[in-house]
Amino acid sequence: MQKLNKTQERWVAVGLLFSIIIIICAVIFLPWYSAMKETLDKVDDQVYQIQRYQRVIASRDEVLSEVEKGRTKINALGYFFTQNTYSLAAAELQKRIKGMVERAGGDISSTQVLPHKEQDELIRIAVKVRLIGDMEMLRGLLFEVSAEKPLMSIEDITIIPKRGKRNRKTREIEETGLLTVTLEVSSYMRKKSDNAG
C-alpha cells in the first residue's frame, strides 16, 4: 500500500469531513424535514377545513331562509292542519268529518278522538267515526275525504249492513239498504316548533 502525499491526505480528510456532514444531515435533517412537511400538511388540511366550515356558516342564513320558504310553500298548499294544539286540530277534524257526512246524507252515531302519535316533524291526529247511511252516501263520503284539504286518509274501515225488520206477513227480513260504517280518519299537523318557525 502506498502512502499518500499531503495534498492527497487533505483531499481524503475533506472527503471524509463532507461524508460525515452528509451522513449527519441524512440522519438528523431528513427525519426533521419529513416531520416538518407532515406538520405543514396537517396545518394546510386544518386551514382547508376551517375555510370550509366558514363557508358553511356563511351560508347558514341562506339555508335557513330556503327552509323557511319551503315550509311556507308547504303550509300554503294546505296539506296540514295549522292549529296550535293537537286538541284544536282534532276538534277541527271532527267538525270537518261531521260536515262531510251530513253533505253525503249520512247520520253520525258516535265520534271518538284517538290518541295522537308523533312521527318525525309531524303529529298524526285521528278520529274514529261510526255512521249510518246507504252505499251512495258512503261513495260520496269516500270521494270527499280523498279530495279534502288538509289531506285526510282512511286508516281503517268496517262496513256492516244494517239489519232490517222482519215482515209480519212473510216472516222474512226486509233489507233496509242502510249500512253501519266505522271509519278511522287521520290527518297531520306540524309540531308546534314548526308552526312557530
The pLDDT of residue 79: 76
**Are residues 91 and 46 part of one domain?**
no
List 156's β-bridge partners, or say none: 184
Asked if 51 and 84 sit in the same domain, the reply is no
pLDDT of residue 44: 92
As a whole number of angstroms, the distance between CA 129 and CA 181 comes to: 8
Asked if 91 and 145 sit in the same domain, the reply is yes
Residues 105 and 183 in one domain: yes
pLDDT at 197: 39
Same domain, yes or no: 14 and 99: no
pLDDT at 153: 86
Count of domains forming the chain: 2
> Which residues of the chain register pLDDT less than 50?
194-197
Instruction: Answer yes or no: do 180 and 120 share one domain.
Output: yes
- Looking up residue 110, the CATH number of its domain turns out to be 3.30.70.60
pLDDT at 164: 72
**Same domain, yes or no, for 133 and 169?**
yes
What one-character-per-residue DSSP string does the chain give?
A: -PPP-HHHHHHHHHHHHHHHHHHHHHHHHHHHHHHHHHHHHHHHHHHHHHHHHHHHHHTHHHHHHHHHHHHHHHHHHT-SB--SSHHHHHHHHHHHHHHHHHHHT-EEEEEEEEEEEEETTEEEEEEEEEEEE-HHHHHHHHHHHHH-SS--EEEEEEEEEPP-PBPTTT-PBPP---EEEEEEEEEEEE-HHHHH-
Separation CA 146–CA 158 (nearest Å): 17
User: ∠124-128-130 over CA atoms, to 5°?
Assistant: 160
**Is 91 among the domain residues?**
yes
Q: Which domain holds residue 93?
A: 80-196
Strand-by-strand arrangement of the 153-161 sheet: 107-119, 122-133, 179-190, 153-161
CB distance 63 to 174 below 8 Å: no
Does residue 65 lie within any of the structural domains?
no
- Judge contact between 150 and 78, C-beta under 8 A: yes
Residues 114 and 158 in one domain: yes
State the Cα–Cα distance between residues 95 and 84, nearest whole angstrom: 17
47/93 same-domain check? no
Q: How many angstroms separate the CA atoms of 94 and 100, rounded?
A: 10
pLDDT value for 196 = 41
174 in a domain, yes or no?
A: yes
Verify that 53 and 87 share a domain, yes or no: no
Residue 71 forms part of a structural domain? no
Calpha distance 190→78 (Å, rounded): 12
Length of the chain: 197
